[in-house]
Amino acid sequence: MTDNDAREVLVRTTTGVVRGARGDGISRFLGIPFAAPPFGANRFDAPQPVEPWDGVRDTLEAGPGAPQLLDPDDPLDNYFNPSTIGEDCLTLNVWSPEPGSAGLPVMVWIHGGGYVSGGSTAPAYDGSTFARDGVVYVSINYRLGIDGFAHFDGTTDNRGLRDQIAGLTWVRDNVAAFGGNPDDVTVFGESGGAVSVLTLMAMPAARGLFRRAIAESGSPRADASPDHAHAVMARTAELLGIEPTVDAFAALSLQETIAGVMPISRDWLDTARWGAHTFTISPFRAVTGTESLPDPVFASATRSTVPLLVGTVRNETISFVSALGLDTDAAVDRLADLLGADDSVIDAYRRGRRLTTSVALAEALWTDWAFRMPVLSLAEARRSASTFVSELHWETPLLPAGLGAGHGLDVPFVFDDLATARLLVGDDGPSGLAVNMHRAWVDFAKTGDPGWPEYTTDNRATKIFDTTSSVVSDLAAPERQAWAGRR
């Protein structure tokens, strides 16, 4: 490793030398390939090795994200998604305090986006604050949509998740050259990234690749059986007017395949066809009973010996409720029937949280069914390793009062970067809360202790993050008891 005028940094990886940039005490390396481009002869296959290169490879600019639909006119899209897409997308990025250091803790970020969007170089996921605080931060891309998650007989399953494992394997083999300790890796993510983290805890090939895990706004019950995955793939093929085979999908151009995500995503809103599956939000999910994922995620994550920090935000589904028009009593009744929430469950919300409006009740039912109750059930069941539970309660002024802690709001606080997230937090987001959440995540990665008691059935300790934070015992007691045995 050399550092020229504190501006250029060279690091040797297992496939060649990369040139990064250094400034403000941080070295950045963007777009390092960890697997070959997953298209052409490699399409619908497992991630393939990178071809080594001679000389020095520049990693000064962000590489393309995985192929997906982008909306450059949508500020939120621009915040969470990459600016460009391309075939050479299986790349990662490294922010390091000092590549010449030894044994620094490592945090590997997996982006969200429901397995159909997102990218490691989105503005939301800049790793500078983690490197500033003594962590080697790595963010990775993976295949999305049909190419990453459509399930076909006779071909590689769970390809997007296998990409993540390939990225973690690269970290194991290379992060020491960037100053990190390959035996002290914390994998963390939000939304689809959190679902990925929980799924990686269940995948045999991922064992030993990370020491700790953090899952923000995900669910351990978002996987799918092979039969369900086949139904999604067959319906996708029907909507595209092709045969439900891997050869027929492979014959589509990449752009046609990207566009093909929209018809099945719209169809996914048809509860008459998909029932409660609609409320898992994305039609693309990890498939269990497969070579790479033999067992259900919940059961495997329960048995895992990896310490886990798992959390939600108070109003995960408020934006989805608005989009689906769940604002009438009749709509809430239909939602409750689909989710298996009988009168005793609804009464728990009316008594415990005093929810009376249709929107508030719909949001609470959906949030707890999809996120909060599966997370708490997992925390209740884990005995083999420590589990810490958190919940963000601070509300953005950009959403209705009482419903302002929406999905994704935790990201800028975890990254301690409110300046680039005004579209989420407004102009006066609480910087103290960002400092505290970020510190808890870094402390957990460094020591295994985020700063509050682990969750047990004796204390049910939950850290509430707000402008004034606190630890509450059995925060969700009425709802948890009402949902017992259902989620």
Q: Measured between alpha carbons, how far is 7 from 95 in angstroms, rounded to an integer?
A: 14
Q: Given this structure, which CATH class describes domain 30-90+102-226+282-483?
A: alpha beta
Q: Measured between alpha carbons, how far is 477 from 487 in angstroms, rounded to an integer?
A: 14
pLDDT for 366? 97
Q: Measured between alpha carbons, how far is 140 from 50 in angstroms, rounded to an integer?
A: 15
Q: Measured between alpha carbons, how far is 106 from 251 in angstroms, rounded to an integer?
A: 40
* 464 contacts 391 by C-beta, under 8 angstroms: yes
pLDDT for 154? 86
pLDDT for 7? 83
Low-confidence ranges of the chain (pLDDT < 70): 1-6
Q: Measured between alpha carbons, how far is 373 from 484 in angstroms, rounded to an integer?
A: 9
Nearest one of 264, 236, 237, 258 to 248, comparing CA atoms: 237
- What's the chain look like in SS3? CEEECCCEEEEEECCEEEEEEEECCEEEEEEEECCCCCCHHHCCCCCCCCCCCCCEEECCCCCCECCCCCCCCCHHHHHHCCCCECCCCCEEEEEECCCCCCCEEEEEEECCCCCCCCCCCCHHHCCHHHHHCCCEEEEECCCCHHHHHCCCCCCCCCHHHHHHHHHHHHHHHHHHHHCEEEEEEEEEEECHHHHHHHHHCCCHHHCCCCCEEEEECCCCCCCECHHHHHHHHHHHHHHHCCCCCHHHHHCCCHHHHHHCHHHHHHHCCCHHHHHHHHHHCCCCCCECCCCCCCCCHHHHHHHCCCCEEEEEECECCHHHHHHHCCCCHHHHHHHHHHHCCCHHHHHHHHHHCCCCCHHHHHHHHHHHHHHHHHHHHHHHHCCCCCEEEEEECCCCCCCCCCCCCECCCHHHHHCCCCCCCHHHHCCCCCHHHHHHHHHHHHHHHHHCCCCCCCCCCCCCEEEEECCCCEEEECCCHHHHHHHCCCC
- Put simply, whether the predicted model's pTM sits higher than 0.85 gets the answer yes
pLDDT for 6? 57
Could you tell me the two tokens for 183?
């035996």
Which residues are known catalytic residues? Answer: 191, 316, 407
Nearest one of 417, 370, 410 to 390, comparing CA atoms: 410
